[in-house]
Structure 1
Amino acid sequence: MMAKPSPIPTGSTMPSVRPARLIAGLAMLASLLAPLPASADAARDMAKAAYDLPFLLDTVAGGPTVDQAGRARTAADFADDLVVVGLVTTHCPSLCVMRALDLAAVAKALPDGVRAHLRLVAISVDPADRPADLAGFADGLHLDAARWTLLATDAGQAARIRDAIGRQVHRAGDDGAEPSTNLFLFDRRGRLMQSFGGRALDRARLARDLVALDAFDAAASSPHP
């Protein structure tokens, strides 16, 4: 039985972690969690997915992907941000909603300085989801438009993302399959630093990792004497 998560930190005190060791370990763990490729091309694609935010955001046939407001979006829009990426469909009956509410709760509980650098991205893997559908999904859950970006995909991009990140893993009766519940945490340079799997999100762990990664990125970007 999974241990009950500890409460999400709500103050500004930094946890007692060693960010450099944590980040190195998380990057290695993420590579180990990736599914085995079926071909050399798939292996290259998954390497990009693991360490490159543009792989997820910048490859739609005929132009850049668009968000819930119909605006063109690329990875450059998230420069210098901590980014948590997950998959969604607007007809997802339960898990997508649960993940979105979990992430909203984590963001709300973060220290102000960390929350200011956090962006939450939900990529639809149903090509039938259009910007208006994504906007309705976000509005129905009262997601903060300043923090949340929901992205539409075409059929090719949706298939590529499912292959690289995780195929649909849960079937929910007549409502169809729900997308993978995996979440991916990228640092301010667009590199994957951690992945979170399982149906129940460990909010406390995600919050601690965000605080530690923010501190690590801040230290790495500071001028050295």
Structure 2
Amino acid sequence: MKRRLLLSWVTFAGAVSALPGDSVYQLAATLTDQRGQPVQLDAARGQPVLVSMFYTSCQFVCPMLIDAARDTQAALPEAERRRVKVLLISFDPVRDTPAKLAAMARERGLDASQWTLARTDPATARKIAALLKFQYRALPDGEFNHSAELILLDGEGRIAARTAMLAGADARVVAALRKQLSAPARP
């Protein structure tokens, strides 16, 4: 009887924690945040996350991505806004040290309880980019050509919406975000 109970519990626990096959969180990736602390890619599992990839020395598109994420959060009522995390992952980890990530967070006034700026090794950054369908390539001058998209992950790490609109909040992403926030929590 004890064995059957234990097997039932293990089976149930496995079913609860299983990720969908199309989840970005299938990749077991450790990032380093702007405080120099390790953080798992799936750290915000269970809640919606606005995610994009960037690099701190970008002077044009990346600041607009940050503004788009901020505008998307601002389109929500305060109570909902606090439930949305933003994850920006550097694809220039050689130059984007935790100190540089922290400086950018300070300069842009990004609340560390809501915003994670992170880096990882180049191979893992490339894997994350592939899962997000985010493209980038280094240029000879040290700059990058890259996608300019804000991506909404649902609580299970699946892509729920994406936008290339960088001027204000994309109403489609805001609607998808509200849908995610109103969905019942999964055990």
TM-score (norm 1): 0.64
Task: Quote the residue 1:180 is aligned against.
Answer: 147
- Whole-angstrom CA distance in 2 between matches of 1:140 and 1:189: 31
Q: Higher helix proportion, which one?
A: 1
Which portions of structure 1, spanning 4 or more consecutive aligned residues, are displaced by more than 4 angstroms? 198-202
> Percent sequence identity over matched residues?
27
Task: Tell me the CA shift for residue 202 of structure 1.
Answer: 4.8
Task: Quote the residue 1:168 is aligned against.
Answer: 136
- Whole-angstrom CA distance in 1 between matches of 2:70 and 2:169: 13
**Residue-by-residue CA offset, 1:148-200 (whole Å, 9 max, x unaligned):** 001112121122233442222797x9672243212221112222212223555
- Whole-angstrom CA distance in 2 between matches of 1:54 and 1:179: 24
- Aligned-residue Cα RMSD (Å) equals 2.8
Task: Quote the residue 2:117 is aligned against.
Answer: 150
1:53 partnered with 2:25: yes
Structure 2 SS opposite 1:113: helix
Q: Which residues of 2 match residues 66-145 of structure 1 at below 5 A?
A: 66-128=32-94, 129-145=96-112
The one-letter amino acid of 1:95's match is V
The one-letter amino acid of 2:136's match is Q
- Whole-angstrom CA distance in 1 between matches of 2:142 and 2:168: 22
1:194 partnered with 2:166: no
Structure 2 SS opposite 1:103: helix
Alignment CA distance shift 1:170-1:110 (3 Å): farther
Larger deviation, residues 178-187 vs 142-151: 178-187
Q: Which stretches in structure 1 are left out of the alignment for 5+ residues?
A: 1-46
Alignment CA distance shift 1:157-1:75 (3 Å): closer
Structure 1 SS opposite 2:85: strand
TM-score (norm 2): 0.75
Task: Tell me the CA shift for residue 144 of structure 1.
Answer: 1.8
Task: Quote the residue 1:33 is aligned against.
Answer: none
Checking the alignment, whether the CA contact within 8 Å between 1:91 and 1:175 is kept in structure 2 is no
- Whole-angstrom CA distance in 2 between matches of 1:82 and 1:199: 19
Task: Tell me the CA shift for residue 104 of structure 1.
Answer: 1.0
Alignment CA distance shift 1:90-1:114 (3 Å): same
Q: Which stretches in structure 2 are left out of the alignment for 5+ residues?
A: 1-19
Checking the alignment, whether the CA contact within 8 Å between 1:54 and 1:74 is kept in structure 2 is no
How many residues are treated as equivalent by the alignment? 166
- Whole-angstrom CA distance in 2 between matches of 1:201 and 1:104: 9
Alignment CA distance shift 1:170-1:106 (3 Å): farther
Larger deviation, residues 156-165 vs 134-143: 156-165
Alignment CA distance shift 1:213-1:143 (3 Å): same
Checking the alignment, whether the CA contact within 8 Å between 2:42 and 2:157 is kept in structure 1 is no
- Whole-angstrom CA distance in 2 between matches of 1:191 and 1:127: 25
Alignment CA distance shift 1:98-1:76 (3 Å): closer
Alignment CA distance shift 1:198-1:178 (3 Å): farther
